[in-house]
Amino acid sequence: MSLAVGAAVERAGGTGPGVRRAEWQLALPLLVAFVAFFVGPLLILVVVSAFGDEKITLVNFAMWRKFLNDPFYWKVTGNTVKLGFLTVAATLLVGYPLALVYLAARPGVQRLLLFIVILPLLTSVVVRTFAWIVILGREGVVNSVAMGLGLVPAPLRLLQTELGLVIALTQIEMPLMLLPLLSVMNRIDPNLLHASEALGASKWRTLFRVTLPLSLPGLVAGCVLVFASSTTAFISQSIIGGNRLVYLPLLIWQESLVVYNWPLASVAALTLLISVTAAIAAISLLGRRGMRHLHA
């Protein structure tokens, strides 16, 4: 009996053809769903983008030439990527000090901070966005406080501006920065920080030479998530940015559901996918180089 059980356990932990076949069978539903809901629509976008807007049966790549030769579309693409990097920078400047406060706080305060961090994920993005309209409006909280303190003589224009949109996205996307960052920083051995201080390093030197290098994987993951989410935040871009700020998600919506120019909408969608993927690859590459440099 024990021999039979041992053989069964060995087969379960082995890497034979039978086990590999079972693993593929378990992964097959996920593979089918991936092909059906990602690869399939992506191929449809590629095919539709090759047609013209008038002769839908003619493959002439007219929309690609129109998109690439028009400075307006290049500006929209650049503004979309710029919005992503500005949001990443803002969430990083606010989120990393907050993560340090979280690590230094007592367990009860840590639970409170964690609840505040994940609170935006518990509310609808539409509710959060309309709340920022109230906050950033001419008679909103920001302008009321600024005018009450005498900082500005007249209400600031924050709605339908890039600054107001970045401020709103910073709060909306903050959980995507903090959750992976806190996950990595919680695993840092406190003895390393104590050893650095015992060797005479200042708190700033310990931060830049010990804490920051060890937290770099979570930092890179947070930057990637924030960039991908902020560049595709259609609701926030449309409601807070309005029609004055045109980004690729809004352009895709206008061309597909307002103008019904599906080939041009497909080109814009593929451009958004390519630009976001390229920026994410650049962030990941910089992160890997930084980690190799720190470990060298």
Closest CA to 174 of 122, 118, 220: 118
pLDDT in tens, 94-116: 999 999 888 888 888 888 888 88
96 phi and psi angles, rounded to 5 deg: -65, -45
Amino acid 17: pLDDT: 59
Q: What residue has token string 């920026």? A: 279
pLDDT in tens, 221-257: 999 999 999 999 888 888 888 778 889 999 999 988 8
Confidence of residue 153 (pLDDT cuts 50, 70, 90): confident
pLDDT in tens, 205-224: 888 888 888 888 899 999 99
Q: If you ran DSSP here, which 8-state letter would residue 120 be given?
A: G
Instruction: Retrieve residue 31's tokens.
Output: 């593979």
- What's domain 61-295's architecture? Orthogonal Bundle (1.10)
Q: If you ran DSSP here, which 8-state letter would residue 16 be given?
A: S
Mark 18-43 as b/e (b = at least 16 C-beta within 10 Å).
eeeeeeeeeeeeeeeeeeeeeeeeee
Confidence of residue 61 (pLDDT cuts 50, 70, 90): confident
Domain span(s) for CATH 1.10.3720.10 in the chain? 61-295
6 phi and psi angles, rounded to 5 deg: -65, -40
- If one counts every other C-beta atom within 10 angstroms of the C-beta of residue 75, the result is 11
Residue 25 has pLDDT above 80, yes or no: no
pTM of the model: 0.83
